[in-house]
Structure 1
Amino acid sequence: MLQSEIFPKTKKEAPKDAESINHKLLVRAGFIDQLMAGSWTILPLGWRVITKINQVIREEMNAIGGLEMLMPLLHPRSIWEETGRWEKAKEIMYQFKMSGREYGLAFTHEEIVLDLLRKNIKSYTDLPVSVYHFSTKFRDEARPRSGILRGREFMMKDLYSAHASEEDLMAYYQKVKGAYSKIFKRLGFNFKISEASGGVFTDKHTHEFQVLCNTGEDMIFHCDKCDWSYNKEIYEGKPGDLCPKCKEGKVKEAKSIEVGNIFPLGTWLSERMRVYYTDKEGRKRTVWFGSYGIGPTRVLGAWVEVSHDERGIIWNKAMTPFDVHLIDLKSKDNKESKVKKIYKKLEDKGLEVLLDDRDVSAGEKFAEADLIGIPVRLVVSKETGDKIEWKLRTSDKKELLSFDEVLARLKI
């Protein structure tokens, strides 16, 4: 892609009302735009990142048998009344009346999946089922803040599973926990799996995937030697205590950002919506149910919070909008110039390349490259001769390499 064709352009200043790092940098670099408090447009650069995040999630969901689909966002009041959650959800659910009927905008989809199940599940042979989708969610946050981390409208990947027994549900719950761990490892996060309360979803303890971050809104306690971790809401101890699990490490307190959660909901929602199946003996049984969420837009914001410097964003290979930022300092050359040939060769190798073809100063090009944060910067100029200047976003070191050496560094 040519940088001259990117919309919109970068900004020199952050919005005056921006407080969080992700708000400042993602807006300045042209990844997101704020429509109103808690409502964001994901711009072309941002969408490239979200697409990569979603693909990692999709691959791991498919690997554990998840079937992707898409569900409606507009829900009738009646289906939420069945579970008794219409009134409970008033604080966070957008609810309204039109043409004499009452509706709500989705902040989750348990009721919709359960309705699908009761229409289609008859026998134990129809179970288990696991379905997921990527969609917008709406939550009436009283005070949306922290940039794209806490909005009134956001993207969510939610997976739902139905089972014939508690044992099967919990076995799948562990599979999802493992899949989520793979997702966040692939995306490059330093995270903890913390036990937490179930909120409006369940009375049981659940698990949150918390990215360690000094600017995070959440607070967790975790062991410095094993994988034990609890959300502050349910832990009654204090920092420095002996780890209750391994009995060797010390409990540490840390700020964090929640990027995923999983809920073993059991049968209470299924019972209220009369979601049954017939077992081997012909007896009517209640379906066991689980719910599992990851917020891709929240993942986007969380990464910027933990991976940036004073110059801008620092993307990793898994999430970067482009593999290479190619900078042309001979912008007046003809179409057959060296940089255009390099650009084409890189693309022919399957690389995603952003070519800065603009007629602006070298300093402006370098500053914007740092702001956007693509991992590899390549520069072609009179000074580089028949070589290409190689520089990583995470380093100030510059090297002159041949094209083949560049490919080797890129592991092509």
Structure 2
Amino acid sequence: MSHIVVIGAGQAGSSLVAKLRKDGFDGEITLIGAEETLPYQRPPLSKAYLLGEMELERLFLRPESFYAENNITLKLGRRVTAIDPAARTVSLGEEVIPYDQLALTTGSDPRRLSAAIGGDLDGVYVVRGLTDVDAMAPHVTAGKRALIVGGGYIGLEAAAVCAKRGVQVTLVEMADRILQRVAAPETSDFFRSLHASHGVDIREGVGLERLEGEGGKVTRAVLSGGETVEVDFVVVGVGITPSSQLAEMAGLELENGIKADAKGRTSDAAIWSAGDCASFPFQGKRIRLESVPNAIDQAEVVAQNMLGADKEYIATPWFWSDQYDVKLQIAGLNTGYDNVVTRQGEGSQVSFWYYRGDQLVAVDAMNDPRAYMVGKRLIDMGKTADKAVAADPAADLKPLLKA
């Protein structure tokens, strides 16, 4: 009987094994995860879960009964120590598991501050897994002082939750502006104003020199200009890196993560990859997409291909972020844009339309689901939007889809 092993029990891994069974695979399936917990969704961790608005059970992607009913063997709280592609085996310490096909859905790892600048002090947290958030949660209370390091979406979401809980928040971003790597200045300006209105002190062009502590616990931060900020805890949101160590040990080709082809196959014909850890061809270049939609969609295509579908994964990038009462929805990739059109709606509704020349490439929509929906469909269809129509809040966007 054929045996498929999946390493990485996150969104991609859980989606992949579910798709295998849905599409009729009747062989053995083993899903291996380093965490003790059932596969769970990560986005609510730093928002609803941290705020106490979501119970642990609601985080689970599927109930434990699903895996039992579908004859999926879960090995949780287990770390893979080696992959032997020649023998087609996976080792978990002394336990050796043979496979016919293997999928790596190992996700990504948060960048951490080095011990040399105090990154190993108690009270310094990243926002990645359940353990991280559970450790941080008791500190997120009114009157505490937090330093957020990094002005990307993770840092800003953490700042929003802390501010809503009455924490005094200082956020430092080394770049000239928050969201500089991922968004236009217009989007940066919107979120800077939003956070300022909630009392968050954002410092741009300011780095962290070091953290200092007493009794092994962080108590202050020294910023790049020499200023000292007293803190009770620190949240580090300075990006993630693909978790490709196992692939490297197995001798697989790497390129910005685990190098996969358009069908999700790695340099070894029996090994596949999907999710945050996998890079793949997209519009003439190689990218990784760090998003839940990509993890699900790519994993499902890989599952189909493991069963012989021979199907290419066509990514339709989209992302979201929730901060205070603002829902940001992003369609497309803004790489290479050279001009931005603003569409100002009612109240807090606003969207920014990114163009490369006259071609629409991405949309950032704040509390404007209609603009997001139209923009996403246009981008997915390879169409563009007349700039004058996009900029006119009185203009109906729907006819753009028929143009």
Q: TM-score range by the shorter chain?
A: under 0.3
Larger Rg: 1
Bigger share in helix: 1
Of structures 1 and 2, the one scoring higher in RCO (CA 8 A, sep 6+) is 1
